Amino acid sequence: MGVAGLSIDKAQGGETTVAVASVEPLLKLSADAMAAVNELILSKAGSDVELIPEISNYLVNAGGKRLRPMLTIASAEMFGYRGDAHIRLATAVEFMHTATLLHDDVVDESDMRRARATARRIWGNQASVLVGDFLLGQAFRLMVDVGSLDALDVLSTAASVIAEGEVWQLSASRSMETTKADYEAVIRAKTAALFSAAAEMGPIITGASERERQALRTYGDTLGMAFQLVDDALDYGGSAASLGKNVGDDFREGKVTLPVIFAYRDGDDQDRAFWKAAIEEGRNDDAALASAIERLERTGAVEKTVSEARLYGETARTALAELPEGPWRDALDQVVGFCISRVV
């Protein structure tokens, strides 16, 4: 493997081109399986209660790369799996993720996600809470259907851990006492836990070795950490169009993320006073956001956050060494670079 974030593609005719690491190889390899996942999503999100398929279809069409269910597909097919349990587990993973998004948007009072109005904006908080509950129930039914208690154990634990992380973030969101370690514990729970569980499904249903299972757990966990940190960086750096959310959303919601923790830690007294006022007292209007971005740049806080993401990415790539060589492993390697290259 080459430099992080880069991969060498041999084009036809033998000439060598350098391409930015891409999610394309994984998308191609998993295309058939993901078509089956899509079909199952639509079928299991069906209901005579019209509002349920209405909201579900809206979310399905919202796009997104479906990274989490693809991890489940990859982690099974890289061991030569030929059944269909991975389709059901990947669907369960996507439902868990969608339920979390529905509830998160209610909790954060978000109006936009991926450049579209959120479900709660269109159908209200009530429907978002309840349809999220429905999808969570359907996720568990799919797991039960597969019949692996081991898979159920991993995913139900992830469900608790995710919610616990969200509650923690809710209680701590407005305190500048939050440390880097605190924050990493939160995102490990609220984001990395599902990536990790998704990647663990393959070795569970294929009966891969404990070493391989551990490797995929680590890959998912560290990829999830890198993914979230890049997201945090993008909230202060990317454009709303590329990210599909508004720059400064985290800031306006009073969320302490790693860029803010670095800017506070490495800033001067004036910086610290600014962050306390912004986060703890809610002084977060547009002028404050502009000042926040200036302070983040001056302290190098966004770059430091991306560096942290790169470190997690390196761990993810290293974990892959334990897994069977082949196109699936190569595709998972490229995904790491892709996640990080979103920001650079």
Instruction: Name which of 71 and 161 has its Cβ closer to a copy of itself.
Output: 161
Residue from 3, 19, 31, 157 that binds a copy of itself (CB under 8 A)? 157
H runs (alpha helix) in 173-285: 180-187, 193-206, 210-237, 240-243, 249-252, 258-266, 269-275
- Applying the rule CB under 8 A, the residues between 160 and 219 that interact with a copy of itself are 160-164, 166-168, 170-171
Contacts of 305 by beta carbon, 8 Å cutoff, 6+ apart: 229, 232, 233, 257, 258, 259, 262
Q: How far is CA 192 from CA 3, 128, 228, in A?
A: 24, 23, 8
* Min dist. Cβ of residue 211 to a copy of itself (A): 24
The three-state secondary structure class of 245 is coil
Residue from 47, 246, 291, 315 that binds a copy of itself (CB under 8 A)? 47
* Min dist. Cβ of residue 106 to a copy of itself (A): 6
Residue 144 found at the interface with a copy of itself (CB under 8 A) = yes
Contacts of 337 by beta carbon, 8 Å cutoff, 6+ apart: 4, 5, 6, 7, 20, 21, 22, 313
Instruction: Name which of 84 and 268 has its Cβ closer to a copy of itself.
Output: 84
CA distance 185 to 258: 12
Residue from 38, 57, 125, 214 that binds a copy of itself (CB under 8 A)? 125
Instruction: 134-141: list long-range contacts, CB under 8 Å, 24+ apart.
Output: 134/47, 134/52, 135/45, 135/56, 135/95, 135/96, 135/98, 135/99, 135/102, 136/95, 136/96, 136/99, 138/44, 138/45, 138/92, 138/95, 139/91, 139/92, 139/93, 139/95, 139/96, 139/99, 140/92, 141/44
* Min dist. Cβ of residue 173 to a copy of itself (A): 10
Most distant pair of Cα atoms in the chain: their distance: 62
Residue from 1, 4, 112, 130 that binds a copy of itself (CB under 8 A)? 130
Instruction: Name which of 134 and 262 has its Cβ closer to a copy of itself.
Output: 134
**Whether 155 contacts 69, CB under 8 Å:** no
Instruction: Name which of 58 and 140 has its Cβ closer to a copy of itself.
Output: 140
Q: Which two structure tokens, joined as six digits, stand for 260?
A: 């803010």
Find, among 184, 139, 149, the residue nearest to 165 by Cα. Answer: 184
Residue 156 found at the interface with a copy of itself (CB under 8 A) = yes
Look up tokens 């998004």; give the residue.
Answer: 101
Residue 159 found at the interface with a copy of itself (CB under 8 A) = yes
Q: Which stretch binds a copy of itself (CB under 8 A): 57-65, 120-128, 285-293, 321-329?
A: 120-128
CA distance 250 to 88: 33
* Min dist. Cβ of residue 162 to a copy of itself (A): 7
Q: Which stretch binds a copy of itself (CB under 8 A): 14-22, 30-38, 45-53, 323-331?
A: 45-53
Q: Which two structure tokens, joined as six digits, stand for 216?
A: 């995929």
Residue 260 found at the interface with a copy of itself (CB under 8 A) = no
* Min dist. Cβ of residue 45 to a copy of itself (A): 11
Residue window 289-318: x/- pattern of binding to a copy of itself, with contact defined by CB under 8 A: ------------------------------
Instruction: Name which of 112 and 163 has its Cβ closer to a copy of itself.
Output: 163
Instruction: Name which of 159 and 293 has its Cβ closer to a copy of itself.
Output: 159
CA distance 134 to 46: 11
* Min dist. Cβ of residue 97 to a copy of itself (A): 13
Residue from 83, 147, 207, 282 that binds a copy of itself (CB under 8 A)? 147
Binding residues (CB under 8 A) for a copy of itself: these are: 47, 49-52, 103, 106-107, 125-127, 129-131, 133-134, 136-138, 140-141, 143-144, 147, 149, 152-153, 156-157, 159-164, 166-168, 170-171
